Chain A
Protein backbone atom coordinates (compact mmCIF):
# COMPACT_ATOMS: atom_id res chain seq x y z
CA UNK A 1 0.00 0.00 0.00
CA UNK A 2 1.05 3.55 -0.65
CA UNK A 3 2.62 5.63 2.10
CA UNK A 4 -0.13 7.55 3.85
CA UNK A 5 0.02 11.19 2.91
CA UNK A 6 -0.81 13.11 6.07
CA UNK A 7 0.72 16.47 5.27
CA UNK A 8 -2.60 18.09 4.32
CA UNK A 9 -4.28 16.71 7.44
CA UNK A 10 -1.65 18.24 9.69
CA UNK A 11 -2.09 21.52 7.81
CA UNK A 12 -5.84 21.44 8.39
CA UNK A 13 -5.52 20.94 12.13
CA UNK A 14 -2.82 23.60 12.32
CA UNK A 15 -5.14 26.01 10.54
CA UNK A 16 -7.89 25.25 13.04
CA UNK A 17 -5.57 25.88 15.98
CA UNK A 18 -4.27 29.12 14.50
CA UNK A 19 -7.79 30.32 13.74
CA UNK A 20 -8.96 29.59 17.30
CA UNK A 21 -5.88 31.37 18.65
CA UNK A 22 -6.60 34.36 16.42
CA UNK A 23 -10.17 34.53 17.71
CA UNK A 24 -8.94 34.33 21.31
CA UNK A 25 -6.53 37.20 20.65
CA UNK A 26 -9.35 39.22 19.09
CA UNK A 27 -11.52 38.45 22.08
CA UNK A 28 -8.93 39.74 24.55
CA UNK A 29 -8.33 42.75 22.34
CA UNK A 30 -12.03 43.59 22.10
CA UNK A 31 -12.38 43.24 25.87
CA UNK A 32 -9.39 45.51 26.48
CA UNK A 33 -10.59 48.19 24.06
CA UNK A 34 -14.09 47.97 25.43
CA UNK A 35 -12.99 48.30 29.03
CA UNK A 36 -10.84 51.35 28.39
CA UNK A 37 -13.13 53.41 26.15
CA UNK A 38 -16.26 55.21 27.26
CA UNK A 39 -17.36 58.43 28.89
CA UNK A 40 -14.25 58.17 30.98
CA UNK A 41 -11.26 56.91 29.03
CA UNK A 42 -8.84 54.79 30.96
CA UNK A 43 -5.37 53.88 29.72
CA UNK A 44 -4.67 50.17 29.31
CA UNK A 45 -1.53 50.60 31.38
CA UNK A 46 -3.50 51.96 34.33
CA UNK A 47 -5.76 48.94 34.42
CA UNK A 48 -3.70 46.75 36.78
CA UNK A 49 -3.25 49.67 39.16
CA UNK A 50 -6.94 50.55 39.26
CA UNK A 51 -8.16 47.00 39.60
CA UNK A 52 -5.48 46.34 42.23
CA UNK A 53 -6.57 49.07 44.63
CA UNK A 54 -9.97 47.50 45.22
CA UNK A 55 -12.93 49.29 46.61
CA UNK A 56 -12.30 53.04 46.42
CA UNK A 57 -12.19 55.29 43.41
CA UNK A 58 -14.58 56.25 40.61
CA UNK A 59 -12.49 54.48 38.02
CA UNK A 60 -12.60 51.22 39.89
CA UNK A 61 -16.37 51.49 40.14
CA UNK A 62 -16.71 52.18 36.42
CA UNK A 63 -14.55 49.23 35.51
CA UNK A 64 -15.89 46.73 37.97
CA UNK A 65 -19.52 47.73 38.18
CA UNK A 66 -20.27 48.94 34.66
CA UNK A 67 -17.84 47.95 31.97
CA UNK A 68 -16.65 44.50 33.01
CA UNK A 69 -20.16 43.09 33.56
CA UNK A 70 -21.20 44.44 30.15
CA UNK A 71 -18.25 42.79 28.47
CA UNK A 72 -18.95 39.48 30.16
CA UNK A 73 -22.62 39.68 29.28
CA UNK A 74 -21.77 40.65 25.69
CA UNK A 75 -19.48 37.66 25.41
CA UNK A 76 -22.04 35.27 26.91
CA UNK A 77 -25.00 36.53 24.89
CA UNK A 78 -23.07 36.87 21.63
CA UNK A 79 -21.52 33.44 22.05
CA UNK A 80 -24.80 31.80 23.00
CA UNK A 81 -26.84 33.34 20.18
CA UNK A 82 -24.23 32.53 17.59
CA UNK A 83 -23.89 28.99 18.91
CA UNK A 84 -27.67 28.55 18.94
CA UNK A 85 -27.75 29.82 15.35
CA UNK A 86 -25.10 27.46 14.09
CA UNK A 87 -26.77 24.49 15.83
CA UNK A 88 -30.25 25.31 14.54
CA UNK A 89 -28.98 25.84 10.99
CA UNK A 90 -27.29 22.48 11.30
CA UNK A 91 -30.28 20.51 12.51
CA UNK A 92 -32.78 22.21 10.21
CA UNK A 93 -30.30 22.22 7.33
CA UNK A 94 -31.57 25.64 6.43
CA UNK A 95 -29.34 28.69 6.07
CA UNK A 96 -32.07 31.18 7.01
CA UNK A 97 -32.80 29.81 10.44
CA UNK A 98 -31.62 31.91 13.34
CA UNK A 99 -32.35 31.65 17.05
CA UNK A 100 -35.42 33.88 16.78
CA UNK A 101 -37.00 32.13 13.78
CA UNK A 102 -38.88 29.71 15.98
CA UNK A 103 -40.68 32.40 17.92
CA UNK A 104 -38.57 32.03 21.05
CA UNK A 105 -37.91 35.77 21.23
CA UNK A 106 -41.54 36.50 20.41
CA UNK A 107 -42.69 34.36 23.30
CA UNK A 108 -40.34 36.12 25.67
CA UNK A 109 -41.43 39.53 24.42
CA UNK A 110 -45.09 38.62 24.81
CA UNK A 111 -44.51 37.53 28.39
CA UNK A 112 -42.71 40.76 29.19
CA UNK A 113 -45.35 42.86 27.43
CA UNK A 114 -48.12 41.15 29.38
CA UNK A 115 -46.41 41.87 32.67
CA UNK A 116 -45.71 45.48 31.75
CA UNK A 117 -49.26 46.10 30.54
CA UNK A 118 -50.79 44.62 33.66
CA UNK A 119 -48.37 46.59 35.82
CA UNK A 120 -47.08 43.46 37.54
CA UNK A 121 -43.47 44.28 36.82
CA UNK A 122 -43.25 46.52 39.85
CA UNK A 123 -44.19 43.58 42.02
CA UNK A 124 -41.06 41.48 42.32
CA UNK A 125 -38.17 43.79 41.60
CA UNK A 126 -35.50 43.44 38.94
CA UNK A 127 -35.88 39.68 38.52
CA UNK A 128 -39.42 39.97 37.26
CA UNK A 129 -38.88 40.89 33.61
CA UNK A 130 -36.08 38.38 32.92
CA UNK A 131 -38.06 35.68 34.67
CA UNK A 132 -41.23 36.35 32.69
CA UNK A 133 -39.21 36.65 29.50
CA UNK A 134 -37.66 33.27 30.14
CA UNK A 135 -41.02 31.69 30.96
CA UNK A 136 -42.45 33.16 27.76
CA UNK A 137 -39.69 31.66 25.65
CA UNK A 138 -39.96 28.36 27.53
CA UNK A 139 -43.66 28.21 26.73
CA UNK A 140 -42.91 28.79 23.04
CA UNK A 141 -40.21 26.10 23.03
CA UNK A 142 -42.56 23.55 24.59
CA UNK A 143 -45.28 24.48 22.13
CA UNK A 144 -43.06 24.24 19.04
CA UNK A 145 -41.44 21.05 20.26
CA UNK A 146 -44.64 19.21 21.11
CA UNK A 147 -46.45 20.33 17.95
CA UNK A 148 -43.42 19.28 15.94
CA UNK A 149 -43.62 15.72 17.21
CA UNK A 150 -45.81 13.11 15.65
CA UNK A 151 -45.83 9.47 16.68
CA UNK A 152 -42.85 10.28 18.85
CA UNK A 153 -40.77 11.40 15.89
CA UNK A 154 -39.48 14.84 15.17
CA UNK A 155 -40.68 16.27 11.87
CA UNK A 156 -37.93 18.72 11.24
CA UNK A 157 -39.46 20.73 8.41
CA UNK A 158 -42.95 21.01 9.91
CA UNK A 159 -41.41 22.01 13.20
CA UNK A 160 -39.68 24.88 11.46
CA UNK A 161 -42.92 26.04 9.83
CA UNK A 162 -44.83 25.69 13.10
CA UNK A 163 -42.19 27.82 14.79
CA UNK A 164 -42.46 30.52 12.15
CA UNK A 165 -46.26 30.52 12.42
CA UNK A 166 -46.20 30.69 16.21
CA UNK A 167 -43.80 33.58 15.83
CA UNK A 168 -46.37 35.41 13.67
CA UNK A 169 -49.24 34.74 16.06
CA UNK A 170 -47.19 35.90 19.01
CA UNK A 171 -46.10 39.11 17.31
CA UNK A 172 -49.71 39.87 16.42
CA UNK A 173 -50.68 39.43 20.05
CA UNK A 174 -47.82 41.74 20.93
CA UNK A 175 -49.12 44.38 18.56
CA UNK A 176 -52.55 44.01 20.07
CA UNK A 177 -51.19 44.59 23.56
CA UNK A 178 -49.15 47.55 22.37
CA UNK A 179 -52.12 49.12 20.65
CA UNK A 180 -54.31 49.09 23.74
CA UNK A 181 -51.83 50.10 26.37
CA UNK A 182 -50.65 53.51 27.58
CA UNK A 183 -47.76 55.41 26.01
CA UNK A 184 -45.64 54.85 29.08
CA UNK A 185 -46.08 51.09 29.01
CA UNK A 186 -45.52 51.15 25.27
CA UNK A 187 -42.17 52.80 25.83
CA UNK A 188 -41.26 50.15 28.38
CA UNK A 189 -42.10 47.34 25.99
CA UNK A 190 -40.24 48.83 23.05
CA UNK A 191 -37.24 49.61 25.21
CA UNK A 192 -37.09 46.03 26.43
CA UNK A 193 -37.52 44.62 22.96
CA UNK A 194 -34.69 46.65 21.49
CA UNK A 195 -32.25 44.77 23.64
CA UNK A 196 -29.39 46.02 25.75
CA UNK A 197 -26.39 44.69 27.59
CA UNK A 198 -27.06 47.10 30.43
CA UNK A 199 -27.90 44.58 33.13
CA UNK A 200 -27.38 45.65 36.74
CA UNK A 201 -28.00 42.23 38.20
CA UNK A 202 -24.72 40.34 38.49
CA UNK A 203 -26.50 37.02 39.16
CA UNK A 204 -28.23 37.15 35.77
CA UNK A 205 -24.89 37.84 34.10
CA UNK A 206 -23.38 34.83 35.81
CA UNK A 207 -26.32 32.67 34.75
CA UNK A 208 -25.88 33.78 31.14
CA UNK A 209 -22.15 33.07 31.19
CA UNK A 210 -22.58 29.68 32.80
CA UNK A 211 -25.35 28.74 30.36
CA UNK A 212 -23.24 29.70 27.36
CA UNK A 213 -20.33 27.53 28.50
CA UNK A 214 -22.59 24.58 29.30
CA UNK A 215 -24.26 25.03 25.91
CA UNK A 216 -20.92 24.91 24.14
CA UNK A 217 -19.96 21.77 26.06
CA UNK A 218 -23.27 20.04 25.25
CA UNK A 219 -22.98 20.95 21.59
CA UNK A 220 -19.52 19.41 21.45
CA UNK A 221 -20.89 16.12 22.77
CA UNK A 222 -22.89 15.97 19.54
CA UNK A 223 -20.26 17.29 17.18
CA UNK A 224 -19.95 14.02 15.25
CA UNK A 225 -23.65 13.55 14.59
CA UNK A 226 -23.80 17.23 13.62
CA UNK A 227 -21.08 16.59 11.07
CA UNK A 228 -22.94 13.56 9.75
CA UNK A 229 -26.21 15.53 9.62
CA UNK A 230 -24.64 17.67 6.92
CA UNK A 231 -25.52 14.76 4.63
CA UNK A 232 -29.12 14.69 5.82
CA UNK A 233 -30.97 12.86 8.55
CA UNK A 234 -31.33 9.60 6.65
CA UNK A 235 -27.67 9.31 5.74
CA UNK A 236 -26.56 10.24 9.25
CA UNK A 237 -28.70 7.37 10.48
CA UNK A 238 -27.10 5.02 7.98
CA UNK A 239 -23.75 6.01 9.45
CA UNK A 240 -24.89 4.76 12.82
CA UNK A 241 -26.09 7.91 14.57
CA UNK A 242 -29.26 8.18 16.57
CA UNK A 243 -30.46 11.31 14.82
CA UNK A 244 -33.67 11.55 16.84
CA UNK A 245 -31.86 11.93 20.15
CA UNK A 246 -29.34 14.30 18.58
CA UNK A 247 -32.03 16.55 17.13
CA UNK A 248 -33.98 16.68 20.37
CA UNK A 249 -31.08 17.49 22.66
CA UNK A 250 -29.60 20.03 20.29
CA UNK A 251 -32.95 21.70 19.71
CA UNK A 252 -33.58 22.02 23.43
CA UNK A 253 -30.03 23.24 24.07
CA UNK A 254 -30.16 25.91 21.36
CA UNK A 255 -33.64 27.03 22.40
CA UNK A 256 -32.82 27.32 26.08
CA UNK A 257 -29.67 29.28 25.27
CA UNK A 258 -31.75 31.65 23.17
CA UNK A 259 -34.39 31.91 25.87
CA UNK A 260 -31.84 32.83 28.51
CA UNK A 261 -30.21 35.43 26.23
CA UNK A 262 -33.52 37.06 25.40
CA UNK A 263 -34.56 37.05 29.05
CA UNK A 264 -31.38 38.79 30.17
CA UNK A 265 -30.57 41.08 27.24
CA UNK A 266 -33.76 41.45 25.21
CA UNK A 267 -33.95 40.85 21.50
CA UNK A 268 -30.56 41.31 19.88
CA UNK A 269 -30.89 40.26 16.27
CA UNK A 270 -28.51 39.21 13.52
CA UNK A 271 -25.74 37.72 15.69
CA UNK A 272 -27.17 34.24 15.41
CA UNK A 273 -27.51 34.49 11.65
CA UNK A 274 -24.46 36.40 10.53
CA UNK A 275 -21.65 35.00 12.63
CA UNK A 276 -22.30 31.33 11.85
CA UNK A 277 -22.39 32.10 8.12
CA UNK A 278 -19.28 34.20 8.31
CA UNK A 279 -17.49 31.36 10.06
CA UNK A 280 -18.74 28.83 7.54
CA UNK A 281 -17.31 30.95 4.75
CA UNK A 282 -13.98 31.46 6.50
CA UNK A 283 -13.25 28.08 8.04
CA UNK A 284 -15.64 25.60 6.42
CA UNK A 285 -18.52 23.47 7.56
CA UNK A 286 -16.78 21.04 9.91
CA UNK A 287 -18.58 21.48 13.22
CA UNK A 288 -15.47 20.56 15.19
CA UNK A 289 -14.07 24.00 14.40
CA UNK A 290 -17.35 25.70 13.50
CA UNK A 291 -18.89 25.43 16.97
CA UNK A 292 -15.99 27.01 18.85
CA UNK A 293 -15.32 29.66 16.22
CA UNK A 294 -18.98 30.67 16.05
CA UNK A 295 -19.10 30.88 19.81
CA UNK A 296 -15.98 33.04 20.07
CA UNK A 297 -16.89 35.05 16.98
CA UNK A 298 -20.32 35.84 18.39
CA UNK A 299 -18.80 37.00 21.65
CA UNK A 300 -16.28 39.24 19.92
CA UNK A 301 -18.90 40.67 17.60
CA UNK A 302 -21.26 41.59 20.40
CA UNK A 303 -18.55 43.13 22.59
CA UNK A 304 -17.53 45.36 19.67
CA UNK A 305 -21.12 46.17 18.78
CA UNK A 306 -21.82 47.20 22.34
CA UNK A 307 -18.72 49.38 22.35
CA UNK A 308 -20.01 51.18 19.25
CA UNK A 309 -23.54 51.39 20.60
CA UNK A 310 -22.44 53.26 23.70
CA UNK A 311 -19.73 55.45 22.18
CA UNK A 312 -20.88 56.45 18.70
CA UNK A 313 -23.16 59.31 19.78
CA UNK A 314 -22.13 59.36 23.43
CA UNK A 315 -23.56 60.15 25.92
CA UNK A 316 -26.69 58.79 24.24
CA UNK A 317 -26.63 55.04 24.02
CA UNK A 318 -27.93 53.42 20.83
CA UNK A 319 -29.84 50.15 21.03
CA UNK A 320 -27.29 47.44 20.37
CA UNK A 321 -29.64 45.81 17.85
CA UNK A 322 -29.20 48.87 15.63
CA UNK A 323 -25.46 48.28 15.51
CA UNK A 324 -25.60 44.51 15.03
CA UNK A 325 -28.14 45.00 12.27
CA UNK A 326 -26.37 47.76 10.38
CA UNK A 327 -22.77 46.60 10.80
CA UNK A 328 -23.49 42.89 10.74
CA UNK A 329 -25.91 43.06 7.85
CA UNK A 330 -23.65 45.26 5.73
CA UNK A 331 -20.60 43.15 6.46
CA UNK A 332 -22.52 40.04 5.57
CA UNK A 333 -23.82 41.39 2.28
CA UNK A 334 -20.30 42.48 1.30
CA UNK A 335 -18.83 39.07 2.06
CA UNK A 336 -21.69 37.22 0.43
CA UNK A 337 -21.54 39.23 -2.78
CA UNK A 338 -17.88 38.27 -3.17
CA UNK A 339 -18.20 34.66 -2.26
CA UNK A 340 -20.80 32.03 -2.95
CA UNK A 341 -22.58 30.78 0.07
CA UNK A 342 -22.54 27.03 0.07
CA UNK A 343 -24.81 25.47 2.55
CA UNK A 344 -25.16 21.75 2.98
Chain B
Protein backbone atom coordinates (compact mmCIF):
# COMPACT_ATOMS: atom_id res chain seq x y z
CA UNK B 1 0.00 0.00 0.00
CA UNK B 2 2.63 2.49 1.08
CA UNK B 3 4.72 1.54 -1.93
CA UNK B 4 1.88 2.14 -4.36
CA UNK B 5 1.12 5.44 -2.77
CA UNK B 6 4.69 6.63 -2.88
CA UNK B 7 5.05 5.60 -6.51
CA UNK B 8 1.85 7.42 -7.22
CA UNK B 9 2.97 10.54 -5.36
CA UNK B 10 6.29 10.52 -7.19
CA UNK B 11 4.47 10.20 -10.50
CA UNK B 12 2.27 13.14 -9.71
CA UNK B 13 5.23 15.27 -8.71
CA UNK B 14 7.00 14.50 -11.98
CA UNK B 15 3.81 15.22 -13.89
CA UNK B 16 3.24 18.58 -12.22
CA UNK B 17 6.86 19.49 -12.79
CA UNK B 18 6.62 18.65 -16.50
CA UNK B 19 3.39 20.58 -16.85
CA UNK B 20 5.00 23.59 -15.21
CA UNK B 21 7.89 23.57 -17.65
CA UNK B 22 5.57 23.09 -20.59
CA UNK B 23 3.31 25.96 -19.54
CA UNK B 24 6.19 28.33 -18.92
CA UNK B 25 7.56 27.65 -22.40
CA UNK B 26 4.15 28.02 -24.04
CA UNK B 27 3.68 31.36 -22.33
CA UNK B 28 7.01 32.71 -23.51
CA UNK B 29 6.44 31.37 -27.00
CA UNK B 30 3.09 33.16 -27.16
CA UNK B 31 4.79 36.35 -26.11
CA UNK B 32 7.25 36.31 -28.97
CA UNK B 33 4.56 35.27 -31.46
CA UNK B 34 2.50 38.25 -30.35
CA UNK B 35 5.52 40.50 -30.65
CA UNK B 36 6.06 39.28 -34.19
CA UNK B 37 2.58 40.42 -35.18
CA UNK B 38 3.76 43.98 -34.43
CA UNK B 39 6.60 43.58 -36.93
CA UNK B 40 4.02 42.28 -39.38
CA UNK B 41 1.81 45.36 -38.95
CA UNK B 42 4.69 47.83 -39.30
CA UNK B 43 6.36 46.13 -42.25
CA UNK B 44 3.06 45.83 -44.09
CA UNK B 45 2.53 49.55 -43.68
CA UNK B 46 6.02 50.17 -45.05
CA UNK B 47 5.43 47.90 -48.03
CA UNK B 48 2.24 49.79 -48.83
CA UNK B 49 4.02 53.14 -48.80
CA UNK B 50 6.75 52.17 -51.23
CA UNK B 51 4.65 51.74 -54.42
CA UNK B 52 3.13 55.17 -53.71
CA UNK B 53 6.56 56.69 -53.42
CA UNK B 54 7.75 55.05 -56.63
CA UNK B 55 4.60 56.04 -58.48
CA UNK B 56 5.00 59.69 -57.52
CA UNK B 57 8.73 59.74 -58.23
CA UNK B 58 8.27 58.15 -61.65
CA UNK B 59 7.16 61.38 -63.28
CA UNK B 60 10.44 63.03 -62.34
CA UNK B 61 12.82 60.13 -62.72
CA UNK B 62 12.27 59.13 -66.34
CA UNK B 63 15.91 58.22 -66.81
CA UNK B 64 16.23 56.28 -63.59
CA UNK B 65 13.73 53.53 -64.31
CA UNK B 66 16.35 50.95 -63.36
CA UNK B 67 16.67 52.28 -59.82
CA UNK B 68 12.91 52.43 -59.46
CA UNK B 69 12.59 48.92 -60.82
CA UNK B 70 15.09 47.71 -58.26
CA UNK B 71 13.13 49.26 -55.42
CA UNK B 72 9.91 47.59 -56.59
CA UNK B 73 11.63 44.24 -56.97
CA UNK B 74 13.27 44.48 -53.57
CA UNK B 75 9.91 45.40 -52.08
CA UNK B 76 8.19 42.41 -53.69
CA UNK B 77 10.92 40.06 -52.44
CA UNK B 78 10.47 41.48 -48.97
CA UNK B 79 6.67 41.06 -49.11
CA UNK B 80 7.09 37.41 -50.06
CA UNK B 81 9.68 36.86 -47.32
CA UNK B 82 7.36 38.51 -44.81
CA UNK B 83 4.51 36.20 -45.78
CA UNK B 84 6.66 33.11 -45.25
CA UNK B 85 8.06 34.43 -41.99
CA UNK B 86 4.58 35.31 -40.75
CA UNK B 87 3.59 31.66 -40.98
CA UNK B 88 6.54 30.48 -38.87
CA UNK B 89 7.83 33.32 -36.72
CA UNK B 90 11.11 32.36 -35.10
CA UNK B 91 12.04 29.76 -37.72
CA UNK B 92 15.76 30.34 -38.53
CA UNK B 93 15.49 29.98 -42.33
CA UNK B 94 12.54 32.26 -42.81
CA UNK B 95 13.89 34.81 -40.35
CA UNK B 96 17.19 34.90 -42.19
CA UNK B 97 15.35 35.27 -45.51
CA UNK B 98 13.30 38.14 -44.11
CA UNK B 99 16.37 39.87 -42.70
CA UNK B 100 18.15 39.51 -46.07
CA UNK B 101 15.16 40.82 -48.02
CA UNK B 102 14.78 43.75 -45.64
CA UNK B 103 18.46 44.61 -45.98
CA UNK B 104 18.06 44.47 -49.77
CA UNK B 105 15.07 46.78 -49.62
CA UNK B 106 16.96 49.17 -47.36
CA UNK B 107 19.83 49.26 -49.86
CA UNK B 108 17.52 49.88 -52.82
CA UNK B 109 15.80 52.72 -50.96
CA UNK B 110 19.19 54.19 -50.11
CA UNK B 111 20.21 54.34 -53.73
CA UNK B 112 16.83 55.82 -54.63
CA UNK B 113 17.46 58.50 -52.02
CA UNK B 114 20.87 59.19 -53.50
CA UNK B 115 19.38 59.53 -56.97
CA UNK B 116 16.64 61.82 -55.70
CA UNK B 117 19.29 64.17 -54.34
CA UNK B 118 20.06 65.09 -57.95
CA UNK B 119 16.52 66.22 -58.73
CA UNK B 120 15.69 69.40 -56.79
CA UNK B 121 12.17 69.53 -58.30
CA UNK B 122 11.43 66.11 -56.96
CA UNK B 123 12.70 66.99 -53.53
CA UNK B 124 10.42 70.02 -53.49
CA UNK B 125 7.37 67.88 -54.25
CA UNK B 126 5.03 67.90 -51.27
CA UNK B 127 3.81 64.33 -51.69
CA UNK B 128 7.34 62.98 -51.93
CA UNK B 129 8.38 64.86 -48.84
CA UNK B 130 5.41 63.47 -46.95
CA UNK B 131 5.97 59.94 -48.16
CA UNK B 132 9.66 59.91 -47.26
CA UNK B 133 8.83 61.36 -43.86
CA UNK B 134 6.25 58.62 -43.35
CA UNK B 135 8.75 56.00 -44.49
CA UNK B 136 11.42 57.16 -42.07
CA UNK B 137 8.97 57.17 -39.20
CA UNK B 138 7.72 53.69 -40.13
CA UNK B 139 11.31 52.50 -40.19
CA UNK B 140 11.72 53.70 -36.63
CA UNK B 141 8.65 51.77 -35.63
CA UNK B 142 9.90 48.66 -37.39
CA UNK B 143 13.13 48.94 -35.42
CA UNK B 144 11.12 49.28 -32.25
CA UNK B 145 8.87 46.32 -33.00
CA UNK B 146 11.96 44.30 -33.90
CA UNK B 147 13.57 45.14 -30.57
CA UNK B 148 10.42 44.05 -28.76
CA UNK B 149 10.36 40.77 -30.70
CA UNK B 150 14.05 40.13 -30.08
CA UNK B 151 13.60 40.78 -26.36
CA UNK B 152 10.84 38.19 -26.21
CA UNK B 153 12.78 35.66 -28.27
CA UNK B 154 15.74 36.10 -25.93
CA UNK B 155 13.57 35.49 -22.88
CA UNK B 156 12.14 32.37 -24.51
CA UNK B 157 15.51 30.99 -25.61
CA UNK B 158 17.05 31.62 -22.21
CA UNK B 159 14.25 29.70 -20.53
CA UNK B 160 14.42 26.91 -23.10
CA UNK B 161 18.16 26.43 -22.70
CA UNK B 162 18.24 26.61 -18.92
CA UNK B 163 18.25 23.52 -16.73
CA UNK B 164 15.92 21.64 -16.21
CA UNK B 165 13.81 22.96 -19.10
CA UNK B 166 16.40 21.90 -21.63
CA UNK B 167 15.74 18.25 -20.73
CA UNK B 168 12.09 18.44 -21.70
CA UNK B 169 11.99 21.23 -24.31
CA UNK B 170 12.98 18.82 -27.08
CA UNK B 171 10.40 16.23 -26.02
CA UNK B 172 7.65 18.85 -26.13
CA UNK B 173 8.83 20.09 -29.52
CA UNK B 174 10.16 23.50 -28.47
CA UNK B 175 13.09 24.54 -30.63
CA UNK B 176 15.20 27.66 -30.34
CA UNK B 177 13.65 30.74 -31.94
CA UNK B 178 15.68 32.97 -34.18
CA UNK B 179 16.26 36.68 -33.68
CA UNK B 180 15.42 39.11 -36.45
CA UNK B 181 18.56 41.10 -37.11
CA UNK B 182 18.52 43.35 -40.13
CA UNK B 183 22.01 44.51 -41.08
CA UNK B 184 21.95 48.29 -40.86
CA UNK B 185 22.68 49.59 -44.36
CA UNK B 186 22.96 53.17 -43.25
CA UNK B 187 25.04 52.76 -40.15
CA UNK B 188 27.11 55.76 -41.18
CA UNK B 189 24.15 58.05 -41.41
CA UNK B 190 22.60 59.10 -38.11
CA UNK B 191 18.83 59.00 -37.74
CA UNK B 192 17.49 62.34 -38.86
CA UNK B 193 15.97 64.30 -36.06
CA UNK B 194 14.14 67.34 -37.27
CA UNK B 195 11.97 69.58 -35.20
Q: Do A and B bind each other?
A: no
Q: Chain B interface (Cβ within 8 Å of chain A)?
A: none
